[in-house]
Amino acid sequence: MAITPLSRRKNSTYSDFHKDLTLNPINLDLARRIDEDAIKESVKNLILTDRGERLFQPNVGCNIRYILFENAGPETAILAKQLIKETISAYEPRANIINIDVVFSVDLNNAKITITFNVINKEEPITFNVTLDRVH
């Protein structure tokens, strides 16, 4: 006689809470982001955080917002890529960066950042976009 489990849940390797502490509507526990979604949210939070913004962690963050007020050019895009790469490499060890693309839009006063990475121990690449605006 074979015993089958009542539920077959996929084991997640990485798990993080939503930053706004959303509740799961089914069991009313804190909702979680798992695996790739957790890492995407973490990378996005690192890029959108300025250094000195987190209490007791003054070095965490990307400090990329000040670049938005510089003249947009190839040098600015290279500096933005370097800041993003250094931040992700230092504070998100679960992600291996494949490519970072930064495009400044002078007319819209924003920067579109496309990051391609893969998760440690997985081969398929993950791509997502972040838009930084001068005015919120």
Task: Give a yes or no: residue 11 inside a domain.
Answer: no
Full domain range(s) for residue 114: 38-133
Task: Give a yes or no: residue 23 inside a domain.
Answer: no
Task: Give a yes or no: residue 113 inside a domain.
Answer: yes
Task: Give a yes or no: residue 53 inside a domain.
Answer: yes
Give the chain as a 3 state SS string.
CCCCCCCCCCCCCCEEECCCCCECCCCCCECEEECHHHHHHHHHHHHHCCCCCCCCCCCCCCCCHHHHHCCCCHHHHHHHHHHHHHHHHHHCCCEEEEEEEEEEECCCCEEEEEEEEEECCCCCCEEEEEEEECCC
Task: Give a yes or no: residue 82 inside a domain.
Answer: yes
Closest of 64, 36, 38, 68 to residue 49, by C-alpha:
64
Q: What is the pLDDT of residue 99?
A: 96
If the chain, 136 residues long, is cut into consecutive pieces of 10 residues, what is the mean pLDDT of each piece?
Answer: 50 66 74 77 89 89 84 88 94 93 87 92 90 76
Q: Residue 101: which CATH number?
A: 3.10.450.40
Instruction: Please give the tally of structural domains in the chain.
Output: 1
Give phi and psi for 12, each to the nearest 5: -95, 140
Task: Give a yes or no: residue 101 inside a domain.
Answer: yes
Q: What is the pLDDT of residue 113?
A: 94
Q: What is the pLDDT of residue 88?
A: 93
Q: How far apart are CA 11 and CA 114, in angstroms?
A: 29
Task: Give a yes or no: residue 29 inside a domain.
Answer: no
